[in-house]
């Protein structure tokens, strides 16, 4: 696995990092044996950094990593974790949270400590809580080595935030679809010129760019290079930027880990040709015309007080338009009723939303989630939802299973 060096601290980071938010699960909890096998497999194949956060699994993800990263594996991998900035009301909470994270991770020092889900407004609020004093003290006490932030703000405000403190790294959402949504190349270049490392999250936009994609986009990519996977095109575009240090991917199968390592391990900056860059730009336009809700299905908005499965509602809605699913009985309608409608599990459909708006402050994309859910409800539910549920369960599903 190739590494890239952060200019500020000369730390060598593997080009692929392990994103430990979407870990394999079993009965609603982390499948610890499978998760351990996957993380060890990634480390054994060159991954030397794992990213997690206090809010992932309400701390259980950190606890799991602390349990398995012992012995030889403790020294083989760096840990990046995050302070839940939106929960912080006073200075003492920062110290208490960090100490709890060190305890869960079973470490004396955290390699990379990031302020989580930051925009300029949130940063200014934290400054009033003496966040920089907290970071300096934590570094002096040896509790953290390097500091940074995960950014979810406006592209034009990113450089100002970079200049507020002597940061070591920034974590950004960056892919060929979201290349100007929360960040742009000018902002990346500004941070890189100050010696900062750049960590990338959501390289495949929650899987949208890496798995099955619209046929028109698939045809374009396969014509350009039939040997490249969709994920490879995405990773190559990101790591074509010399300023990018590491791409974090949320992998939860051995096959995904192997595919991503194969895609990334030998990538070099500036290796894409002009023709390949034009191909990606064309595919991006195809996606832009089809995606209706710019949701990365990250799950930060969860849990919902009304039990709405917000990411799944958005995902099924987008897939209807991405894959042009039409007809009285179509795959997206079946998926909606089986995944959130109550055919197979409890109802977690969009119509349960009561516009409490508690999800808004947690959404990294700054989506008006209640408004978007109303679109989903109108598309899939409408009037007589109970009757439609009965129809899908007793008539639609049997027909679909028989003929499709």
| Chain segment 373-390, per-residue pLDDT in tens | 999 999 989 877 888 777
What pairing do the DSSP bridges indicate for beta strands 12-14 and 3-5?
A: antiparallel
Q: Of 266, 243, 325, whose CA–CA distance to 292 is shortest?
A: 325
Q: What is the pLDDT of residue 328?
A: 61
Q: How many helices (H) does the chain have, and how many strands (E)?
A: 17, 12
Residues of the chain short of pLDDT 70, as ranges, are 327-329, 396-397, 399-404
> What is the per-residue burial (b if ≥16 Cβ within 10 Å, else e) of 341-376?
bbbeeebbbbbbbeeeeebeebbbbebebbebbeeb
Joined together, the tokens standing for residue 17 give 């990092």
Torsion of CA 199, 205, 209, 213, to 10 degrees: 170
Separation CA 276–CA 208 (nearest Å): 20
CA 314 to chain centre: 15
**Integer distance in angstroms from the first to the last C-alpha of the chain?**
42
Q: What count of other Cβ atoms lies within 10 Å of the Cβ of residue 87?
A: 12
Q: What is the pLDDT of residue 400?
A: 58
Domain spans in the chain, listed from the N-terminal domain onward: 3-290, 310-403
Q: How far lies 195's CA from each of 11, 135, 170, 211, 385, in Å?
A: 11, 19, 11, 34, 55
What is the CATH number assigned to the segment(s) 3-290?
3.20.20.100
Whether the Cβ atoms of residue 252 and residue 259 lie closer than 8 Å to each other: no
Q: What is the pLDDT of residue 196?
A: 98
With a CB cutoff of 8 Å and minimum separation 6, the contacts of 55 are 82, 84, 87, 116, 300
| Chain segment 308-363, per-residue pLDDT in tens | 999 999 989 888 888 877 766 677 777 888 889 887 778 999 999 999 999 998 88
Q: Of 138, 137, 189, 196, whose CA–CA distance to 164 is shortest?
A: 196
Whether the Cβ atoms of residue 127 and residue 136 lie closer than 8 Å to each other: no
62: phi then psi, degrees, rounded to nearest 5: -65, -45
Q: Length of the chain, please? A: 404
Q: What count of other Cβ atoms lies within 10 Å of the Cβ of residue 68?
A: 17
Helices 91-105 and 60-68 pack at an angle, to 10 degrees, of 40
Q: How far lies 271's CA from each of 150, 180, 325, in Å?
A: 27, 22, 37
What pairing do the DSSP bridges indicate for beta strands 25-26 and 29-30?
A: antiparallel
Whether the Cβ atoms of residue 307 and residue 349 lie closer than 8 Å to each other: no
| Chain segment 58-95, per-residue pLDDT in tens | 999 999 999 999 999 999 999 999 999 988 999 999 99
User: Which residues are bridge partners to 198 per DSSP?
Assistant: 170
User: Which residues are bridge partners to 3 per DSSP?
Assistant: 14
Q: Of 283, 281, 286, 372, whose CA–CA distance to 324 is shortest?
A: 286
Q: What is the pLDDT of residue 385?
A: 81
Average pLDDT, rounded, for the chain: 92
């Amino acid at each position: 696995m190739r590494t890239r060096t952060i200019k500020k601290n000369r730390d060598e980071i593997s080009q692929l990092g392990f994103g430990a938010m979407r870990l394999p699960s079993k009965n609603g909890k982390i499948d610890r044996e499978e998760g351990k096998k996957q993380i060890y497999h990634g480390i054994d194949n060159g991954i030397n950094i794992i990213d997690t956060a206090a809010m992932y699994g309400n701390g259980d993800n950190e606890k799991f990593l602390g349990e398995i990263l012992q012995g030889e594996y403790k020294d083989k991998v760096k840990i990046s974790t995050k302070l839940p900035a939106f929960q912080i009301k006073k200075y003492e909470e920062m110290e208490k949270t960090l100490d709890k994270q060190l305890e869960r991770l079973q470490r004396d020092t955290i390699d990379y400590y990031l302020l989580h889900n930051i925009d300029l407004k949130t940063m200014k609020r934290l400054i009033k809580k003496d966040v920089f004093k907290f970071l300096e003290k934590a570094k002096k006490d040896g509790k953290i080595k390097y500091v940074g932030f995960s950014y979810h703000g406006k592209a034009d405000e990113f450089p100002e935030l970079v200049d507020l403190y002597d940061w070591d790294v920034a974590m950004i959402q960056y892919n060929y679809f979201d290349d100007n949504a929360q960040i742009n190349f000018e902002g990346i270049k500004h941070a890189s010129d100050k010696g900062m490392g750049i960590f990338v999250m959501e390289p495949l936009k929650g899987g949208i760019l890496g798995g099955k994609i619209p046929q028109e986009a698939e045809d374009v990519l396969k014509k350009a290079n039939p040997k490249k996977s969709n994920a490879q095109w995405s990773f190559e575009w990101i790591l074509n930027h010399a300023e990018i240090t590491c791409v974090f991917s949320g992998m939860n199968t051995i096959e995904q880990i192997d595919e991503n390592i194969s895609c990334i391990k030998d990538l070099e900056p500036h290796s894409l040709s002009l023709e390949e860059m034009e191909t990606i730009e064309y595919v991006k336009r195809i996606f832009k015309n089809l995606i209706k809700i710019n949701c990365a299905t990250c799950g930060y908005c969860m849990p919902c007080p009304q039990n709405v499965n917000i990411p799944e509602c958005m995902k099924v809605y987008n897939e209807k338009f991405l894959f042009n699913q039409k007809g009285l009985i179509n795959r997206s309608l079946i998926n909606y009723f089986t995944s959130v409608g109550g055919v197979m599990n409890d109802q977690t459909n969009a119509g349960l939303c009561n516009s409490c708006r508690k999800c808004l402050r947690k959404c990294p994309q700054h989506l008006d989630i209640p408004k978007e859910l109303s679109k989903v409800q109108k598309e899939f539910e409408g009037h007589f939802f109970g009757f439609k549920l009965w129809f899908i369960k007793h008539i639609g599903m049997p027909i679909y299973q028989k003929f499709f």
